[in-house]
A and B are shown apart, each in its own frame.
Chain A
C-alpha cells in the first residue's frame, strides 16, 4: 500500500489510552459470548465422540437415542455434503474440515466426533448421546511424531501426500518445505565451533477460557443463521455452506464476543453440526463444548522433533545454520511446517542457511493455529543452540545477536529482502534495560531470546457512516480479540478530528459488510486499521466537498483540520470554518448520507521482532521452576493504544511460560488423551507468575499510514527459548525437551550427575 504521508505527523488520538468500548459490558456481565445467546424454541446439541485413537466405524445405531422423550434429531456423516473430495496436502482442506467435525469411515483420534443429537434440554441431549451405540474395529495407532514417520507406522490415510515430499518417506509425511541459500557445509567449515542438537516440544492447547459455542438455525429452504464464538465469521459462513451444500450468501453469521481464541477459533467445530441438527429438527440448536471436548477435539498446536546445527566463529559471527523441523499436526495435513522452517533463522543475517520442515500426520486431533503458529518451537531450538555457542565461546548473548541481526536490506533466511525492521532496536533496548545488568540470586539463571513473526494483511472490508449529529460509526469484520474496537476508533478519530468517544466501532455480521478474512496473523490493527483510515479519508474528502459547495469554491481549496473544514489557498480566511456536525446536520439536503468504505487485500504488513529477558530459579530438590523476572521488548511499529499493546506482550509471554514449563498433551499407550482438563493440563495461574515488564519499540512499518505492525503473535515466539536458556543456566544442564516440568528437570540433573 502506498504511504499516505501522514505517518510522521504528530498524533492527537493515536498513542493515547482511552477506555475500551466493550469494557462496561464485560465488567457487568452484560457482554454476550457464544454460550450466552438464547433463541426462541431452541434445542440443545451434544456430540458422541470416539474413545479410540484409530478405529473403523462398523455400525452406528441411533434408534435408542431417537426413541428418548425430548430428542428431536440425530445426525451422522450422512447428513453432511457428499460432494467434497479428499485431496493431497492443503488442497483437501474443506474435506479435511468436514472429516474432522464428523468422522466418515474411521475415527482418527480420541475425541473424534461420530454422531450428534439435539434435544429439548442439555441433560436430555447428553443422556441421548450415551444411548447412541457405535461398533468399532480398532486399528493400530500412532501419536508420536518420530514414530509416525518410522517405516512400520500405521498409515493414517493413503493418498494425501502432496508433490513436495521426497520419495521414499512414510505416507504419514504429507508436506515438505525445503529452502535455503549459500553453502552450509562450506559455512560450517569456516566456523570455530559447530553445535548440533536435538529438541522436542509437546502439543499445547490455545487454552481459551470460553469453550467453543454457537446457536444455529437452518431451514429446508436453505436459509440459515449462526451466532458463534469465532475469530472469523465469514470463514464460518464459507465453510459451513460448503459442508452442508448451501449457498454461501444464504447463511448469515454473527460473531459473538469471543472469550479468547489465540488461533484456536479460526476454524469450525460445532457450527456445522448445529446447523445439520437444526435443519433436521427445524428448530434452532445451541451447542456448547465441554472443557474435555475442547481439549480432545479442538486444535492444539503441533508437537515437534527438531535438529538444529549452527557454526560460529570465535568473534560470534554465525557462519552457517541448518535445521530440520518435524511437526505432528494430528490426523490431517496442515501442521505449519513451512512457518517453523521460515521463522527459524529469520532474526539472523546469514550467508549460508538451510531449513527443512515436514508436516506429519498422527492419531491426534487436527492441529489449529496457535499464536504465531510454528514459530515458537523453531525459536526454542535455534536460540538454544545460539545460547550454547555463546556459553562455550564466552560471548555475551545479546552482543552475539546484535552482531548477526537482520536489518533493512538483509536477505531473509526465507527469501525476500527485509524492509525497515526493528530487531536491532529491540536488542539495544534489551541490553540497556536494567533487567539485563541486575545481579542474579543463588540458584537463578538468565536467558535471552529473539523471536520473529511475519504478520499478515489479508482480505479486508470496512464501512464507516456519519450520523447527523457529527458522530461516526465504523463497521469492521474482524472479531475483536484484543481491544481492536478501541484501536479502530482511535485511528478514525485521528483522521476525522473528532473525539474518540463520539465513534462507535461494531463487528458487523456477514450480511452487513463485505468479506473479511479471519482475525489472525496479527492482521487486525494493521489491515482493518488501514481500511478504517482509508474509509475516514473518503469521508473527509466528501466533507470538504460539501463545505466547498456551500462556500461556492473549488473542493481542492478546502482543507480538513481537527474536525473542521477550512478554506485554504487564495480563499484562506474568507469563510468561518465549518465543524463536522454543521456539515452532517444538513447532509440529507446537500447530497445525501456521508459514508466511507474501503476494500482491499493490503500486503504491507511489516514483519515483527522481539527480544525477551527472563530470570528463572530452579529448585534442584524438587525440579520446580519459578520465573522470577520477565521483560518483553518488542517492535510495535506504532502503538495505537499502548496499554493494549502491552497486554498483548504480557499475554504472549504468559502463554510462553506455560508452554515452556507445564503445558503438554499427554497420551497413554492406548492413544487416549490423559489430561483433558485444566486440573491436569495446567496453564499458568496468578501465583505462578511475576509482573511482566514491557518495552514498546516503535520502528514504523512503511506499509501502514500510521506505521502499525501487528503485535499479537510475536510475543509468544521468544519465551520458550528465553526460559529454556534461563532454566539451563540455573540448573547447569541444557534443557532440550519441553515442557521443562519438574520430572524432566530432575531427570536432566540426574543424568548430568550420572
Chain B
C-alpha cells in the first residue's frame, strides 16, 4: 500500500482565505464608504458656512440714490475663520460690473431667488470652494442684479479629512484584525470534527475495524457512513479469509497425518535404497506441509486472540524452560544443545498460549537454521523490560532484508534449502505487538542470528 495521499489544496487554507479575503474586502469598502460619506458631511459643513456668509453679504445690499451699497457685517468674514487659517476670497457684482472683491474669482451662475450655488474651483494656486447667490434690487428706474460669491480654501477641510481618514483607517484595520481572529476561530471550529475523526481512526489498533460511534456533524455523516460500511466490508472480508485459511489448514492437516503414517509404514517395508530415499523425502515434505498448516492455524488463532488478550500472571523463565523441555527431543535429533540462561524469576502479565506459541516459533526457526552440533541459547532478562533473546550459531539474517523478514510468508534469501512457511517471525512479531512489545532481529558479531523478543 502507498503511504502518500494525493493532496490538492487545504480546506483550512481555503476557508481561512475566503473569510480573511472577504473581511479585507469589506474593510476596504468600509474605509471608502465612510471616508466618502465623511467628506460629503465635511464639505456640506463648509458649504453651510459659506452660504451663511454669502447670505449675510447679499442681505446687506441696498439700493441708494448713489447706487448699490453693500454694508455687510463683520461677521460675514469672521465666521469663515478656521483652525487652518484658510484664505478667503469674495466678489460682489452689480450686473456685469465688479463692485468689490476679487475680479478673477470663478463665479457660478446663480438663480435670482437667492438660492446658493456651490462649486469647487482653483483660484490663485489653491483649491477653493465657492458659494454664489444673486438678488434683484428693484429701484425707481432700474433693476439691478447683485451677485455675491464667497470662496474659501480647503486646508481645514483637508485636515479634517486626513484626521477622519486616519481614524477610519484605524477602525478598518481593527475590524480586519478582529475578522482574522474570528476567521481563524471559525476555521478551527469547522475543521475540528474532521480532526477528531482522523485522530480517533489513527489511534485505533491495527485490527480494529469497528464502526465509528462518535457523533459527527451532518455534513460528515455520508463520509462516516461510507467509511463504516467500507470497514465492515473489510472486516467481513478479512474474517472470511482467515476462516478460510484456518479451515483449509485444518482440513489439510488430518489427511497429511494419515499419508505420513502410511509413508512411514511403507518405509519400514521397502528395502531398495532409492525407494527408501524417495519415501524419506516424501515424509520430509509431508512434515513441512503439516508444519505450515499448523503455523497457519496458529496465526489465525493469534490474530483472533491478539484482539482479545487473556493475560495472567506467569513466570517467563518457567515458560521458557517448559518450552525447552518440550523441544529438546527435536533438538537432539540434530545434536543441538538448547541452553537457558536466567537470573531467577521474571514475573510478567501475558497470554501464556500466545507467548508459548511465539517463542516456540522462534526456537523452531533457530533449530531450522542452526548447523548440527551447535548451541542455541535462550537468555531471559528482567530489566529494563522483560525480554527473551534467542541466539543461534547459524548463518544469521541477510542484512539487506532484515526489515521485511517479519512480513507474512517471507523467508530469508539463505533459507531456500530449509523447510518453513515463513510465518514464524510474523507470528512472534504479532504476539509481541499484541503485548505492547516488539521483535528485533540482529546478527551477532561472532556469527549467528539473535532475535530479541521484547514484552
Q: Are these two chains actual partners, yes or no?
A: no
A residues bordering B, Cβ < 8 Å?
Answer: none
Interface of B toward A, CB cutoff 8 Å: none
